[in-house]
Amino acid sequence: MNPVTIVLLVILVVLIGALIGLYFWGKKAQKKQEEQKAQIEAAKQTVSMLVIDKKRLPLKQSGLPQMVIDQAPKLMRRTKLPIVKAKIGPKISILIADEKVFEVIPVKKEVKAEVSGLYIVGVRGIRGHLDAPPQKKKGFFKRIFSRK
């Protein structure tokens, strides 16, 4: 056999092995995510809160308790999280919002939120509907290609 053919076969076998490994790793991650969602749904509570401020901050600057920061995975410590500062009853709390919910949360308004621990899962307006987040403008090329 030609040496080039042997090298190509070895590369092909390695790629197939990597794809099989990624498939099983993805299945395992998907099961873990479904379990976490079930736990969040089970511990969910509806509370009334006044949203003071919302920002995207790194975990260290968020103002969350040190125990929460220590438990976070190392990769997550560098990313910016959607942080909401809200007044729940007489106490001011710092919470982490879901990505989908963060855009809808109004600032300086009272809302009913579904909270699971420090995590905001859903938001409803107390007085009427919440305003939808403003639509982002389409870029030049997206406008051109969407017309066709």
Q: Are 103 and 133 in contact (CB under 8 A)?
A: yes
**What tens digit of pLDDT does each residue of 49-60 get?**
999 999 999 988
Q: pLDDT, tens digit, for every residue of 65-124?
A: 889 888 888 888 888 999 999 999 999 999 999 998 998 999 998 999 999 989 999 998
Q: pLDDT for 9-63, tens place per residue?
A: 999 999 999 999 999 999 999 999 999 999 998 999 999 999 999 999 998 888 8
Q: Which is more confident, 138 or 122?
A: 122
- Tokens, residue 33: 């995510």
Q: What is the Cα–Cα distance from 76 to 139, expressed in whole angstroms?
A: 30
Our CA angle for 72, 76, 77, nearest 5°, is: 75
Asked whether the predicted pLDDT for residue 128 surpasses 90, the reply is no
User: Alpha-carbon distance 105 to 52, whole Å?
Assistant: 11
pLDDT value, residue 137: 77
The whole-angstrom separation of Cα 121 and Cα 48 is 13
Cβ neighbours, 10 Å, residue 31: 10
CA–CA separation, 16 and 12 (whole Å): 6
Q: Which residues contact 136 (CB under 8 A, 6 or more apart)?
A: none
